[in-house]
Structure 1
Amino acid sequence: MMHFNKNEGSEEILKTEMDYERPRPQKDGPCGRWMGILMLLGTVGMVISMAILFVMCDDLVKKVTKVENSVSSLNLYLNKSSDPVTNGSPEKRLSDIEKLMNNLGSSLSSLTSKQDLRRLDEKLISRLNELKVQINTKSSSGMCQAGYGSSCYLFSSITLNWMEARDYCKKQGASLLKFDGSDEEWGFLTRTTGTVPHWIGLTDQTTGQWRWTDDTPYTDKNRWDVGQPDDWKEHGLGEEGEDCGHITLRQTLNDAHCSSKYNCICKV
């Protein structure tokens, strides 16, 4: 006859229940491991991409700012180019514009990764090169001794009669002066001529009416000296009266015999 130990049976049952309830460790499958690696790589890639994007945006902002500064500098210089005192000789103005052009070209070259910016680069550089050639041509021909607005002026150092002065200006690729009638240009002209008489492109020799060399009429009476023009004939220079106009030492207009010898002003 077999006898069962009550205590031993109870302990065996309790042990069996505890084994049943205890969670059993499970090994990760291959999918779980790869998912974790991919999430880690994605996070790292996102951080790197954001860093690169930040650097690229910052670099682009700096390049655009550099281009804007170059354009602003060029515009500022060109707006001041009418002042012969602050800008000096034609050679110095040409040198200054070349430097500004080089700075702008260097700035634009860093933005040519896009087609529209490349076209802008080419257009601006082409226009600036045209300006450079134009200024260089005027400098080599003796023009642009002084500038006002968009025009260049040559004040001759020799005296000529009116016809010689007209031909002299043509050889310079210019015309004997025709001014626009504004107080600003007139002030510029009289400041530059000082007290030295200068021929300008006014004559009534052909039609009896005062006209410019391009045949447009001159009707402003405010620039004439008191009592002028008077077509005075007692000058002893021939039968003709005074048919050519000049700026006087009093910085007014006067008519004089066309054979008189004065300096002259040419304008492009």
Structure 2
Amino acid sequence: MNIGRKFAALEEKVTNLSASVFSELQGSKDVYMNIGRKFAALEEKVTNLSASVFSELQGSKDVYMNIGRKFAALEEKVTNLSASVFSELQGSKDVYMNIGRKFAALEEKVTNLSASVFLELQGSKAVYKEVEAEIKKLQASIINAESQLGFVTASQSKACCPDGWVYRSMSCYLFSSSKMEWHAAQDDCRSKQAMLAVINDRTEWDFVRNWTIPTYYWIGLTDEHTGRWEWVDGTPFTVDHKEWMPGQPDDWKNHSLGGGEDCAHLHGNGKYNDDHCTRKYQFVCERKLG
């Protein structure tokens, strides 16, 4: 049984080669895992082939010759694989050694960096303490400045605004408790060296209506002189309907008071509304300082 002997020799060769390879693989399991899988697959093929061979040997001579050819081809494959494996192993060793050298160099860099950072931190602590001290000084200065500003503002308000008036941004505001027609209210404000309030921007509008809600207050806005809405100091006014009551201004005339609605007031929700100037509402006077 020449094939049987060949198969036994081949099986021994594969087993020895497998043992040799896995011995080599102990150095770096991750790198050589692929090679191990190749040999495991090869061993499985040889084992399966062994069973197939001895089954086929029970048949005819032609089958026997065919098996001989298969084994010759298998022997050649194993020989080539052996050479390929050991070549790959040698290359993997070089890669592994190179990685080892790189890791050693990296370890050295980390050690040096750690020492450098530690020294840097020692110097930074002193600088940090100096900066912290300066920050505390600045904070104290800010608190002092805020305190002085509050004192000056309060003093200025008290000194420049009459009793009962409210100070804001270089203006004094009087929110009346009495009710008058629009023109009478304007005359009353003038008698106090003021005028009906002129609202220049959204922040001032928010400030004024914060005091007027939920009551109607006349302000210094009219269209009776030019047909266009403007403030009593001559400043033009651009109508933004989002700031007005719905559908306003409408110059409504069906009120039996004669004429239209030429004077503006702040509604109970703080929005603008036009109305007949003879209606009696509370009003806002504004006196500008400086």
TM-score where L is the length of structure 1: 0.50
Larger Cα Rg: Structure 1 or Structure 2? Answer: 2
